[in-house]
Structure 1
Amino acid sequence: MPVWFADLNPVLQALLAGLFTWSVTALGAASVFFGRKFNQKLLDWMLGFAGGVMMAASYWSLLAPSIEIAENRDMAPWWPAAAGLIAGVFTLWALDKVLPHLHPGMPTDQTEGPESTWHRSVLLVTAITLHNIPEGLAVGVAFGGVISGVPSASLAAAVALALGIGLQNFPEGIAVAMPLRGEGMSRGKAFWFGQLSAIVEPVAAVLGAAAVTYAAPMLPYALSFAAGAMIFVVVEELIPESQQAGNVDLATVAFVVGFTVMMILDVALG
């Protein structure tokens, strides 16, 4: 990686990484400028791939460093990982219940959360934004975690995580923007809403990096918290969404491919 990037403050590194992951979502949303529809099988493959990437990142980029940091601090190695994981799952579950949102591909009458008069586009953006908060947080705590000095929390591993999150953000932009375009929304508006769903990632990345940089004792908990939140998103959203059109085998194979790619990225670079 460039020397200038390695010399930056972890918070600034996290900001740049968050901007990168947001830009890939915007790139996916830009598909609306080339048509009204996207091949469903290809989209389901990409969503399955995204789920595999997130699941692998949850362990190799987040849980494994959390355990290693706890061991180095003479703590019970399982405690921060378990506590943070449960807290991350519960937090996303709670947000899922209190915020109205609509998963891509679902009819408006299947809006989740409290009853709402929000427009369909806002509901779709809210759903993906909920998804993107833990991704941005994960990127941020990974860069902040470099201060721990443990091998599994290296700068290369944080970059690998950002690359992995970026890879799986492309279909998210498509999944929001393309249905809106198909319903008659202008290309510009559909693109706007598609990229808007990921604008929270740079913000969450900066907050995550700042928190663990200036409050080092919370680092192993923050890492596992982000892992729990991402695992919740994969199981509650990405896997069902990738299979709702009936492409179960295709999405499952894609999940395994995504998991393998992220594992290789993290182990090879980290």
Structure 2
Amino acid sequence: MLETTVQYLESIDPVWAALYATLFTWLITAIGAALVFFFKGMNNNVMDGMLGFTGGVMVAASIWSLLIPAIDMSEGEGFVQVVPAIIGFLIGTGFLYGIDKMLPHLHVNFKKVEGVKTSWQKTTLMILAITLHNIPEGLAVGVLFGGVAAGIPEASIGGAVALALGIGLQNFPEGIAVAMPLRRIGMSRKKSFLYGQASAVVEPIAGVLGAMAVTTFTPILPYALAFAAGAMIFVVIEEVIPEAQQNKDSDVATIGFIFGFLVMMTLDVALG
């Protein structure tokens, strides 16, 4: 089935392929959020392990699916070859840093509001926090599909599918991370689910924009890949890992991170 999916995505317009792939990642977020219909809460260790898994997937994807292809497709040798990746990476981290400081948002522990002061409700702020995670993820998938359409050898359809699968896997706990806290504070199951899945609606948008940008102006591809990598690494360091380490048993989050890293690395090497 996976081979058939890869062949199908090879045969269609890259923008549509990016859309379908990111709709898949959105669907996995919704499946995670749907657990709220069966549970009101989740064990802290389980949640920490899943957040660690999320971080591991994002770091591995940033390296194997984004940074290495960005360097490989850049011209020159030595330091010159890595310059586009450095520039794109710094712009990506700077972009997320700016959004993190300007856009008000609240993390899943409901303890700390970041960004500019606002009167927005906590539910809105938490959804914005998870949405920040999803912008670079959707962009990364779209940029890779755009690179395939541009005929860049280092950008393969298998690699793009592997990235979408990895992002989808780590979106499952993200859906839970929004829906469960909302349910715990008294929101209805239906509303908790709707808010949980809505946090990933930005991924198809970012995916399509990324694919369109790269197919329109191919030379930006290494910069765009590194941009997505920088944005994802920023999210892992600033948001995911600190949240996974909130409880006493930090080993669970560490093991989750290692497992997520290995899963994403395996997917990318096997499919890419």
The TM-score range, normalised by the shorter chain, is over 0.9
What code does the residue aligned with 1:41 have?
N
Moved more, 55-64 or 240-249: 240-249
Contact 2:110 2:122 in 1 (8 A): no
Is 2:30 the partner of 1:22?
Answer: no
Question: Quick one: distance in 2 between partners of 1:140 and 1:150?
Answer: 14
Aligned-pair identity in percent equals 59
Structure-1 residue corresponding to 2:66? 62
Alignment of 1:220-259 (within 5 A): 220-259=222-261
The reply to whether residue 11 of structure 1 matches residue 18 of structure 2 is: no
Specify the SS of the correspondent of 2:115: coil
Contact 1:26 1:195 (8 Å CA) reproduced? yes
**Could you say which residue in structure 2 is the equivalent of 1:93?**
97
Question: Is 1:40 paired with 2:37?
Answer: no
1:124 corresponds to which residue?
126
Q: Which amino acid aligns with 2:155?
A: A
Following the alignment from structure 1 to structure 2, what is the Cα–Cα distance between the partners of residues 46 and 131?
Answer: 15
CA deviation after TM superposition for structure 1 residue 39, in Å = 1.6
Structure 1 residue 197: deviation in Å?
Answer: 0.5
Aligned mate of 2:189, from 187, 207, 211? 187
| 8 Å CA contact retained: 2:28, 2:172 | yes
Letter in 1 for 2:75: E
Q: Are 2:262 and 1:263 aligned?
A: no
**How high is the TM-score relative to the length of structure 1?**
0.96
Amino acid at match of 2:58: M
**Which has the larger displacement, 73-82 or 206-215?**
73-82
| TM-score computed with the length of structure 2 as normaliser | 0.95
- 1:74 deviates by 11
Q: How does 1:190-229 map to 2 (within 5 A)?
A: 190-229=192-231
Post-superposition Cα deviations, 1:5-36, rounded to whole Å, max 9, x if no partner, equal: 22011110000001000000011100110021
Per-residue Cα deviation, 1:55-80 (whole angstroms, up to 9, x for no partner): 00001000111111103899921111
8 Å CA contact 2:9–2:157 kept in 1: the answer is no
In the other structure, the counterpart of 2:175 is 173
- 1:106 CA drift (Å): 2.9
Q: Could you say which residue in structure 1 is the equivalent of 2:161?
A: 159
Name the SS for the 1:70 alignment partner.
coil
Note the aligned Cα RMSD (angstroms). 1.5
Kindly provide the amino acid, as one letter, of the partner of residue 71 in structure 2. Answer: I
Give CA-to-partner distance per residue, 1:224-253, whole Å, 9 cap, x none.
Answer: 000000000000011011110223111111
Q: How many residues end up aligned between the 2 structures?
A: 268
Question: Does residue 105 of the first structure (1) align with residue 140 of the second (2)?
Answer: no
Q: Is the 8 A contact 1:70 1:220 kept in 2?
A: yes
Are the aligned partners of 1:61 and 1:152 in contact in 2 as well (CA < 8 Å)?
Answer: no
What is the identity, as a one-letter code, of the residue corresponding to 1:115?
A: K
Aligned pair partner of 2:146 in 144, 147, 153: 144
How far the C-alpha of 1:254 sits from its partner, in A, is 1.1
In structure 1, what residue type is equivalent to 2:54?
A: A
Q: Which among 130, 133, 136 is matched to residue 134 of structure 1? A: 136
CA distance in 2, matches of 1:71, 1:151: 13
How far apart in 1 are the matches of 2:8 and 2:87? 36
